[in-house]
C-alpha cells in the first residue's frame, strides 16, 4: 500500500488492511499501541463520513423507499441485498480525511528510523522493576514522586488551554487527567535517570508507577481506547513519543486511593499560597520525600 503525498484519496479497504498490519506490530512494540489507537480513531471517523455520504446517495434513498411497497416475503431479501450493496460501496469508496493522512505520515516517519523499530526485550517481558513512582491527579493539577529516583513533580492544570477546562468540568473524564499525571511522572523519571544514570544497574531498566485509577493503569498498556474526547488523541501521541527509543520501560499498577496519600497531597498544591512553603510542609510530613 503506497500512501504517498500525491494520492488524492485513500480507499477504505486500504485503510482497513493497513490497520490490520499495524495492529499486529502494536502487539510487540509498546509505543506503537498508542499510535495505533490514534490512527484507528481517525479511520473510524473517515468510515463514518463514507457511510453518511453513501446513505445520501440517490440510488440508496430510492431503494429504501421501494422497500415500503414490497410485500413482506420480498422485503427481507431485498433489504439484505441493499445492505450488501451499501457495504460494498463504502468499502471501495475513497476519502481524504486529513487526520488519517497526518497519522499515516507520522507512523511512516517513525517506522523508517531503525532505532524506533527496536524494543528491548527487558521492556516487554514481566520482571521485577528497578524503580517505583507514585502519581495522582485532581481538578487542580497532577502530582508524583519517586524516592528511588529522588524527585517530586507537580503541575497545575492550565484551565483555559487545550480543552482541559472541559475535562475538569466533566468528571467522567477524570480518567484522562489521571492518565496524564502518570505520563508526567514517567517523563520526570526519564529526566531524573538521565541526570543520575548511575542509579540504573543495567542498560534497560523499568519503572512501575502506582496510580489509584484503574483506567489509567489500563491505558498505560492499551492506550486510550474508550474516550471520544478530542484531547485523548493528543495524549496518546504524547505517550507514544515518551516511550519511543526510551531506555526506561514503563509499567503501571493500581494502588488503592487510601494508600496513595502522598501523591494526592502533591497534586493539590495550589498557587494561592507559596509553592515552596507548601512543598516544604509536605516533605517534613512524609519522610519518603526528604531526599527528593
| DSSP-assigned states of every residue in 38-61 | HHHHHHHHHHHHHHHHHHTSHHHH
How many angstroms separate the Cα of 2 from the Cα of each of 15, 43, 97, 102, 221? Answer: 11, 17, 16, 15, 30
3-state secondary structure of 213: coil
Q: What are 204-223's pLDDT values in tens digits?
A: 999 999 999 999 999 998 88
How many other β-carbons are positioned within 10 Å of the β-carbon of residue 270? 10
Residue 140: CB atoms within 10 A of its CB come to 18
Say if CB 141 and CB 267 are below 8 A apart.
yes
Cα separation, 86 vs 195, in Å, equals 58
Q: What is the chain's pLDDT, residue by residue, as a tens digit (292 residues)?
A: 455 555 556 677 777 777 777 777 777 778 877 777 777 777 777 777 777 777 777 777 777 677 666 666 666 777 677 777 777 776 666 665 666 777 777 777 776 666 666 778 888 888 889 999 999 998 888 999 999 999 999 998 876 655 666 665 666 578 888 999 999 999 999 999 999 999 999 889 999 999 999 999 999 988 887 666 777 778 888 888 898 888 899 999 999 989 999 999 999 988 767 888 888 899 999 998 988 9
Instruction: Report how far residue 289's alpha carbon sits from residue 173's, in angstroms, rounded to the nearest whole number.
Output: 30
Please tell me what DSSP assigns to residue 254. Answer: E
* β-bridge partners, 118: none
The three cell numbers of residue 15 are 485503510
Q: How far is CA 78 from the centre of its chain?
A: 42
Which domains, and CATH codes, for the chain?
Answer: 10-117 (no CATH), 121-289 (3.30.420.10)
By DSSP bridging, strand 151-156 and strand 206-211 are unpaired
Q: Which residue do the cell numbers 471501495 mark? A: 92
pLDDT in tens, 218-265: 999 888 876 667 777 788 888 888 988 888 999 999 999 899 999 999
Q: Write the burial class of residue 24 (CB in 10 Å: 0-12 exposed, 13-18 middle, 19+ buried).
A: exposed
Asked if 35 and 236 touch (Cβ cutoff 8 Å), the reply is yes
Amino acid at each position: 500500500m503506497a500512501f504517498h503525498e500525491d494520492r488524492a484519496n485513500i480507499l477504505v479497504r486500504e485503510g482497513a488492511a493497513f490497520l490490520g498490519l499495524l495492529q499486529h506490530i502494536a502487539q510487540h512494540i509498546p509505543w506503537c499501541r498508542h499510535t495505533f489507537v490514534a490512527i484507528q480513531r481517525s479511520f473510524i471517523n473517515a468510515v463514518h463520513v463514507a457511510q453518511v455520504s453513501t446513505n445520501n446517495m440517490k440510488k440508496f434513498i430510492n431503494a429504501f423507499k421501494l422497500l415500503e411497497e414490497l410485500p413482506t416475503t420480498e422485503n427481507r431479501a431485498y433489504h439484505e441485498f441493499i445492505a450488501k450493496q451499501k457495504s460494498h460501496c463504502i468499502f471501495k469508496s475513497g476519502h481524504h480525511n486529513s487526520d488519517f493522512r497526518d497519522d499515516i505520515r507520522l507512523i511512516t516517519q517513525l517506522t523508517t528510523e531503525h532505532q524506533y523499530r527496536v524494543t528491548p526485550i527487558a521492556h516487554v517481558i514481566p520482571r521485577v522493576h528497578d524503580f517505583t513512582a507514585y502519581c495522582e491527579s485532581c481538578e487542580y493539577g497532577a502530582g508524583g514522586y519517586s524516592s528511588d529516583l529522588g524527585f517530586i513533580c507537580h503541575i497545575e492544570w492550565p484551565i483555559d488551554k487545550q480543552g482541559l477546562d472541559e475535562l475538569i468540568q466533566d468528571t467522567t473524564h477524570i480518567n484522562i487527567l489521571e492518565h496524564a499525571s502518570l505520563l508526567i511522572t514517567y517523563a520526570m523519571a526519564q529526566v531524573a535517570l538521565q541526570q543520575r544514570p548511575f542509579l540504573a544497574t543495567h542498560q534497560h531498566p523499568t519503572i512501575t508507577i502506582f496510580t489509584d485509577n484503574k483506567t489509567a493503569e489500563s491505558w498505560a498498556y492499551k492506550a486510550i481506547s474508550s474516550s471520544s474526547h478530542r484531547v485523548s488523541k493528543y495524549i496518546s501521541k504524547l505517550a507514544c513519543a515518551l516511550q519511543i527509543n526510551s531506555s526506561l520501560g514503563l509499567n503501571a499498577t493500581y494502588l488503592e486511593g487510601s494508600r496513595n496519600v502522598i501523591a494526592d497531597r502533591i497534586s493539590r498544591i495550589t498557587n494561592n499560597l507559596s509553592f515552596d512553603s507548601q512543598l516544604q510542609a509536605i516533605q517534613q510530613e512524609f519522610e519518603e520525600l526528604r531526599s527528593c
